[in-house]
Structure 1
């Protein structure tokens, strides 16, 4: 980056193009289809989690361990190593579906049998064991940058809802389920130590 004379504000002519605006949308199993879209230009495809309220939150944390050396009384370059990395997406789901409730408790859905419960209902219950199939392949938040029509996308791999089910009902209001999804590494990438999270940032002219 070319150096410029110092200013008293960080605002430049390109600043208005770099705002991350609005809440965005949450998708399950978000993938890029290079042959889809208009004129085969490609497009992102996924399954909407549902309508949200109150915004969404992305958190990426990198934890460092300091290698202690006798006589080194101040932090030094090269003396920190990455100990762990985590990523999570927090969302407030207002569109209640049987699947969203199931996701929140990592449970299972069965159709009512007409004997113990009336037909036309789904019965959602918890499970005694967490299985690999309970992890969502990936979960992504699709947002909007002010300077482009292309989305900014954050994807976490092997997402699992770890927040449980907690909601309130009130008059003149709608229930919202707060859901926290955490990223997990694939079994064959444990030794890699890389973060199971990616950020796709569009080029802004």
Structure 2
């Protein structure tokens, strides 16, 4: 009669003593024209750079568009046969504070004015031409990396919301605007830079080696 072979589950895992230190936690906050060299979370909020509270966090995406060079007889992916055609970069947040500026950011192509017949209102109107000022110098996310005193910072440059404004309003709920800011290169980089880099930066606090 065959005997039952004991089978022990072995605890193979990538978990280690510093795992918790590498966790990116919570929704963080979104800012416009944040300067990592001079701004802090507190100073940027005081300066009015924060987009306000968000709902269900946000999203950052930086994806290269790749093209594989295909040749007769080469049927399997081969190192060196792939080129980068470009990058699609965006940062997205659902804004809950309906400030005048957030309405403008949601529309993407809009101006603030007044109406002499309607006193006490900012009047926001769209237009049919994109101006240089519609591109935001940077949209920046600042969030908590559990094991670090410094925040993690993600920036998308020359952000422009191409999706327009859809204002979600419902009973027993609050209004919200989903803004998806696509990153754009400045035209000047093609004249001044030897290497064209996609329009984003991620600032991750330098990891310290424990002795």
Q: Under a length normalisation based on structure 2, what TM-score does the superposition of the two structures give?
A: 0.84
- Indicate conservation of the 8 Å contact 1:31/1:44, yes or no: no
**Cα shift at 1:44:** 7.2
Structure 2 residues not aligned, in runs of 5+:
1-10
CA distance in 1 between counterparts of 2:186 and 2:150 reads 29
Q: Partners of 1:144 and 1:204 in 2: how far apart?
A: 14
| Structure 1 unaligned regions, length at least 5 | 1-6, 38-42
Match of 2:201 among 198, 202, 205: 198
**Superposition deviation, residue 144 in structure 1:** 0.5
Match of 1:3 in 2: none
Tell me whether 1:188 sits opposite 2:188 in the alignment. Answer: yes
Match of 2:171 in 1: 171
User: Residue by residue, what CA displacement relative to the aligned partner does 1:89-127 show, whole Å, maximum 9, x if unpaired?
Assistant: 1101001111111121120010221x2xx1100111101
Match of 2:77 among 75, 78, 87: 75
Q: Structure 1 residue 22 and structure 2 residue 17: aligned?
A: no
Aligned residues between the structures: 191
C-alpha RMSD of matched pairs (Å) = 2.0
| Superposed displacement of residue 54, structure 1 | 1.1
Secondary structure of the corresponding residue to residue 29 of structure 2: strand
- Mapping for residues 126-165 of structure 1, pairs under 5 Å: 126-165=126-165
Residues 138 and 157 of structure 1 are in contact (CA less than 8 Å); yes or no, is this contact kept in structure 2?
yes
Q: Give 1:203 deviation, angstroms.
A: 2.2
Larger Rg: 2
Q: What is the CA–CA distance in structure 2 between the aligned matches of 1:194 and 1:204, rounded to whole Å? A: 24
Deviation of 1:198 after TM superposition, in Å, equals 0.4
Which residue matches 2:15?
11
Q: CA deviation at 1:190?
A: 4.2
Report whether the alignment pairs 1:110 with 2:113.
yes
Q: Tell me by how many angstroms 1:32 deviates.
A: 2.7
Give the 3-state SS of the residue equivalent to 1:138 in structure 2: strand
